[in-house]
């Protein structure tokens, strides 16, 4: 979904928009992970993981949804976080938000 | 790092479809162009994508005519510059 040169295009939305707070946090998270020495998520790993998102999912996601999805993928691959830890945290947050 | 090509050299992009993360656009593979400049030596992003910062390569800016890339072009004298790593380039034959 990343290598689109020469394919029929659609119009580009050029209107300026404010990023949501969660989007700013995703950006900050990537910056933090990427500037560690050595990085926990490299820019090229992020790109590779974004390319790995299936075409349908890619189209349905916003820019920073793709980022957080790719960051999660790389952290799981690298064993920085586990699937169990991730699902436990998601459940915890869902419970907290439900209160 | 020793550069295989110099500014002005005629080159051809390899018509190559390797597995993994690739940073050379489809539309330019197999096309002929000219080295516009040497950009420097950088770790190969195709390795960095798998957390392997161990593969330095020379990066070139390569200039193509729009006609070469697309077959026909509204403005035939227009060009497109693409930055391409050395292992993707071969001398034009």
What domains lie within chain A, and their CATH numbers? Answer: 21-98 (1.10.472.20)
A45/B70 Cβ within 8 A: no
Domains in chain B: boundaries: 10-88
Please tell me what DSSP assigns to residue A10: -
ipTM summary value: 0.86
Kindly calculate the radius of gyration of chain A based on its CA atoms and give it in whole angstroms. 16
- The answer to whether B27 faces chain A, any CB pair under 8 Å, is yes
- The answer to whether B38 faces chain A, any CB pair under 8 Å, is no
pLDDT computed for residue A7 by the predictor: 86
Instruction: For residue A21, say if its preceding peptide bond is cis, omega within 30 degrees of 0.
Output: no
pLDDT band at A13 (very low <50, low <70, confident <90, very high): confident
CB-based burial, B39-63: b 16+ in 10 Å, e otherwise? eeeeebbbbbbebeeeeebbbbbbe
For A38, list phi and psi in degrees, rounded to 5: -80, 160
Which top CATH class is B10-88? mainly beta
B21, B30, B31: best mutation site toward chain A, by most A Cβ within 10 Å? B21
For B76, list phi and psi in degrees, rounded to 5: -60, -25
CB pairs under 8 A between A and B: 31
- The answer to whether B21 faces chain A, any CB pair under 8 Å, is yes
A48/B21 Cβ within 8 A: yes
B23-72: pLDDT as tens digits: 999 999 999 999 999 999 999 999 999 999 989 999 999 999 999 999 98
A36-90: pLDDT as tens digits: 999 999 999 999 999 999 989 999 999 999 999 999 999 999 999 999 999 999 9
According to DSSP, the residues that pair with B59 across neighbouring strands are B40, B85
pTM, rounded to two decimals: 0.88
Residue A45: list chain B partners with CB under 8 A: 48-51
B82-91: pLDDT as tens digits: 999 999 999 9
B25/A48 Cβ within 8 A: no
Residue B88: list chain A partners with CB under 8 A: none
A47/B50 Cβ within 8 A: no
Q: Report the mean per-residue pLDDT for chain A.
A: 94
């Amino acid at each position: 979904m990343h290598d689109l040169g020469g394919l029929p295009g659609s119009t580009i939305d050029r209107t300026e928009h404010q990023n949501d707070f969660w989007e700013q946090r995703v950006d900050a998270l990537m910056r933090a992970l990427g500037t560690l020495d050595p990085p926990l998520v490299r820019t090229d790993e992020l790109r590779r993981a974004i390319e790995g998102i299936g075409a349908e999912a890619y189209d349905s996601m916003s820019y920073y949804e793709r980022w957080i999805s790719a960051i999660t993928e790389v952290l799981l691959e690298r064993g920085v976080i586990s699937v169990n830890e991730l699902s436990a945290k998601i459940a915890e947050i869902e419970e907290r938000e439900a209160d | 790092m020793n550069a295989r090509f110099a500014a002005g050299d005629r080159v051809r992009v390899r018509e190559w479809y390797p597995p993994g993360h690739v940073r050379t656009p489809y539309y330019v593979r197999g096309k002929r162009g000219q080295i516009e400049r040497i950009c420097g030596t950088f770790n190969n992003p195709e390795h960095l994508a798998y957390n392997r910062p161990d593969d330095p390569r020379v990066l070139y800016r390569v200039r193509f005519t729009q006609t070469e890339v697309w077959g026909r072009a509204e403005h035939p004298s227009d060009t497109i510059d693409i930055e391409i790593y050395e292992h993707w380039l071969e001398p034009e034959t």
